[in-house]
């Protein structure tokens, strides 16, 4: 090529959650059945879609308009419906009336995308290269990769602290913001992927305070906002944002669940509070316009599904179900030397940590697990050369047990550990998965 044609951020596009799949498939030579614990797809893991939700979708499929394009920003009635929900949330504010309340949302403050994956690509892709967004570590890879790729540098992160139930280290946030004026935005995920942490209102208010003090905008990924375990208190960003410019990212992928719909949206708060922010939001719409619009059918179904009297019960039942599974996972890891699992309080995942002192004791490149035969052991030994130490564990785990999890190093983290899901439907198999993961992690540490 006469010109260098590779984007400077090309090397930052990593999605460990799926990259591990091609390695797992290579193990078919040894007839190892794989248990997929890497991807957060409730439907792939066998969750049945509620009959009444299928009825709504079936009826909509019979409507010719569901085969049409929609407005670039999305179906207007659906956007008005979602703006109304956001406004209701702000009224039922857990911290009482705010001195500078958020501008009420209208339909135009909701912008649809083909899943949040698409939204994230636009949010970072159309941010000025020099404007950085500070995000959590561990980080959900789609967000961290997109931010890193847009800037051409490693993703900038603040610490989620495992010693404090994975709460954000707000001193770290403020310190980094104060001394790096390239930071234009703050990102958090609530409930969080991969940790399952759910942030109390006080933490969310602190993010808002920091953003306001330093003139930043906020991105809140609220994919799991409706999967908060019973008794856990939190708030939506719209309830605490005040007059700070912000985006909340929401989706039907995990809560309906309908990840194959590829349907998610951005809620824009305080669009008119700052001319730069307003121009930036307009660029997101303009970018979407080049693609015409997001898929119409799921958008048409959203108001009917979400306003159905069965929807709140559906959400509550699932939150209770995932809470029970989180407890099973915590029980399986409890009392195991060198391992820690902070029980998640929301979302669909649990993250297990190796004690860093024991893990990084000089043997991190030589540990193994017992596998079927010599040829498999040789293959894994070859394939794990030079890998991140927790990724080595994940490869050995796959070969020894067939369980496919994601190393924490794939989530922009220096803490050694791995993420698995709370999605297995078969009760016996799920308990076997959690027990096997805990036993294998302990055996690996001691090998």
Ligand X SMILES: Cc1ncc(COP(=O)(O)O)c(C=O)c1O
Residue 264 binding ligand X, by CB under 6 A: yes
Q: Return the residue of 74, 185, 242, 259 that touches ligand X, per CB under 6 A.
A: 259
CA angle 80, 192, 216 (to 5 degrees): 65
- For the chain, the distance separating the N- and C-terminal CA atoms, rounded to the nearest angstrom, is 49
Q: Which residues pair with 189 in a beta bridge?
A: 221
How far is the C-alpha of 99 from the C-alpha of 240, rounded, in Å? 11
The smaller minimum CB distance to ligand X, of residues 144 and 401, is found at: 144
CB of 253 to ligand X, least distance (A): 3
The three-class DSSP label of residue 120 is helix
Contact between 105 and 83 (Cβ < 8 Å): yes
Residue 351 as a binder of ligand X (CB under 6 A): the answer is no
Q: Which residues sit opposite 36 in a β-bridge?
A: 404
152-178 CB burial, b ≥16 within 10 A, e <16? eeebbbbbbebeeebbbbbebbbebbe
Question: What is the pattern of x (binds ligand X, CB under 6 A) and - over residues 154-173?
Answer: --------------------
Q: Is 253 in the site for ligand X (CB under 6 A)?
A: yes
Binding of ligand X by 136 (CB under 6 A): no
Q: How many residues bind ligand X (CB under 6 A)?
A: 14
What does each C-alpha distance from 78 to 110, 145, 219, 247, 412 come to in angstroms?
9, 30, 22, 18, 36
Q: Does 117 bind ligand X (CB under 6 A)?
A: yes
- Of 258 and 444, nearer to ligand X (C-beta) is 258
110-118, 202-210, 230-238, 314-322 -> range binding ligand X (CB under 6 A): 110-118
Told to check if 115 binds ligand X by CB under 6 A, we report: yes
Q: How far is the CB of 140 from ligand X (least distance, A)?
A: 4
What order of strands is seen across the sheet that includes strand 217-221?
Answer: 110-113, 264-269, 246-251, 217-221, 183-189, 132-137, 157-161, 167-168
Looking at 2-10, 114-122, 268-276, 325-333, which segment touches ligand X (CB under 6 A)? 114-122
Least Å from the CB of residue 142 to ligand X = 6
What is the three-class DSSP state of 19? helix
Does 394 participate in binding ligand X (rule CB under 6 A)?
A: no
Which of 38, 90, 151, 223 binds ligand X (CB under 6 A)? It is 223
Given the rule CB under 6 A, which residues bind ligand X? 40, 115-117, 140, 142, 189, 193, 221, 223, 251, 253, 259, 264
């Amino acid at each position: 090529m006469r010109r260098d044609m590779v984007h400077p951020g090309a090397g930052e596009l990593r999605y460990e959650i799926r990259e591990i799949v091609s390695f797992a498939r290579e193990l078919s030579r040894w007839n190892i059945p794989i248990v997929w614990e890497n991807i957060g797809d409730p439907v792939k893991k066998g969750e049945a879609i509620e009959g009444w939700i299928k009825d709504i979708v079936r009826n909509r499929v019979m409507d010719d308009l569901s085969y049409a394009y929609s407005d670039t920003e999305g179906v207007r009635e659906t956007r008005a419906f979602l703006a109304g929900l956001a406004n209701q949330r702000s009224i039922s504010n857990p911290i009482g009336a705010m001195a500078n309340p958020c501008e009420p949302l209208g339909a135009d403050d909701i912008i649809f995308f083909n899943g949040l994956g698409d939204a994230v690509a636009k949010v970072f892709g159309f941010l000025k290269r020099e404007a950085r967004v500070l995000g959590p570590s561990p980080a959900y890879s789609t967000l961290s990769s997109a931010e890193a790729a847009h800037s051409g540098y490693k993703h900038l992160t603040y610490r989620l602290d495992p010693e404090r139930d994975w709460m954000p280290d707000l001193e770290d946030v403020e310190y980094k913001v104060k001394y790096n004026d390239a930071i234009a935005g703050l990102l958090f995920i609530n409930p969080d992927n991969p940790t399952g942490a759910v942030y109390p209102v006080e933490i969310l208010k602190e993010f808002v305070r920091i953003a306001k003090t330093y003139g930043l905008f906020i991105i809140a990924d609220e994919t799991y906002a409706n999967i908060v375990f019973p008794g856990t208190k939190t708030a939506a960003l719209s309830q605490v944002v005040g007059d700070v410019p912000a985006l909340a990212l929401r989706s039907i992928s995990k809560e309906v669940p309908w990840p194959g719909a590829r349907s998610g949206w951005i809620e824009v708060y305080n669009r008119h509070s700052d001319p730069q922010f307003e121009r930036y939001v307009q660029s997101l719409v303009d970018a979407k316009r080049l693609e015409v619009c997001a898929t119409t059918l799921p958008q048409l179904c959203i108001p009917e599904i979400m306003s159905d009297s069965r929807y709140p019960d559906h959400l509550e039942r699932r939150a209770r179900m995932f809470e029970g599974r989180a407890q099973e996972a915590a029980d399986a890891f409890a009392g195991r030397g060198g391992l820690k699992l902070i029980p998640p309080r929301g979302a669909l995942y649990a993250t297990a940590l190796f004690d860093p002192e024991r893990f990084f004791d000089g043997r991190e490149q030589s540990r193994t697990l017992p596998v079927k035969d010599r040829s498999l052991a040789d293959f894994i030994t070859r394939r794990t050369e030079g890998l991140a130490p927790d990724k080595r564990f994940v490869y050995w785990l796959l070969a020894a047990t067939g369980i496919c999890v994601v190393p924490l190093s794939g989530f922009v983290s220096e803490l050694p550990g791995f993420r698995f899901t709370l999605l297995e439907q078969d009760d016996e198999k799920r308990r076997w998965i959690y027990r096997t993961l805990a036993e294998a992690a302990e055996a690996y540490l001691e090998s």
